[in-house]
Structure formats: C-alpha cells, structure tokens
Homo-oligomer: A and B are copies of this chain.
Amino acid sequence: MSMSLPLLTPTETVACCSPLLKQPIGADEAIRIAPLLKALADPVRLRLLSLVASHADQEACVCDLNDAFDLSQPTISHHLKVLHEVGLLDRSKRGVWVYYRVRAEALSALGTLLGGVVA
C-alpha cells in the first residue's frame, strides 16, 4: 500500500499509465497479486462474476447461477469457492440459499493495477 512516487523523469512520465508499468513490481507483490488474476482467468468464473454483479441487488443465489451454465452443480460451487477465497465474491447464507455478491473494490483495485479507466 501507499507507495508514493513524487518525482518522475519525463521517460517515467510517459511510461506511466498503470502502476504495473510505472515501476518494477516486487517479487513478493507479484506472488500476492497473481492468485487474484488466476481466479479471474477462467471463462466460467468471468461469467459468474459478471452474472452476480448484473443481478438484482448485485447479488445472486447459487440456484440462479447453476441454471446459466451447462455445468454440474458441484463445478459451479467449486468456481464460486475459488472466487470467494481470493476475496472477489462475498458469501452470505440465508435459509437454504447461499447468496454471492461481488466485492467491487477488489475488482477495481485489480483494474487500477492494470491501468484501466472506466468509460
């Protein structure tokens, strides 16, 4: 957290468009970030995240998600677990149902790292 880099040479300024590109990332930092990207780097999980976020109240129960894929229930459950474990999805149980919700801060932190700008 919190690396402030005040003085930039012209070259550095040009290079600057994302924290990743501003300066060499540390080995430990890379090890910490990679699992987040790895969790996202699957088509099913990308769709799951997007589906949950697009759902009413930005949350969805597993029953809704299962129907959206041609995959077994345990497989969906597995993917949700992966996203939850890296902190991209919040999980709350209400009765028999389990609801997942996107942790937008986590996602946008990743986006910022890569240098994106919201349209």
Contacts and interface: CB of A to CB of B under 8 A. Distances in A.
Given A54-B15, A111-B112, A24 B47 contact: yes
A25 interface: yes
Contacts of A34: 41-43, 46
How many subunits of this chain does the assembly comprise?
A: 2
A73 interface: no
Interface residues of A, number: 50
A19 B33 CA distance: 20
Interface string A19-63: 111111101001101110110111110110111011011100000
Interface of A: 11, 14-15, 17-25, 27, 30-31, 33-35, 37-38, 40-44, 46-47, 49-51, 53-54, 56-58, 102, 104, 107-119
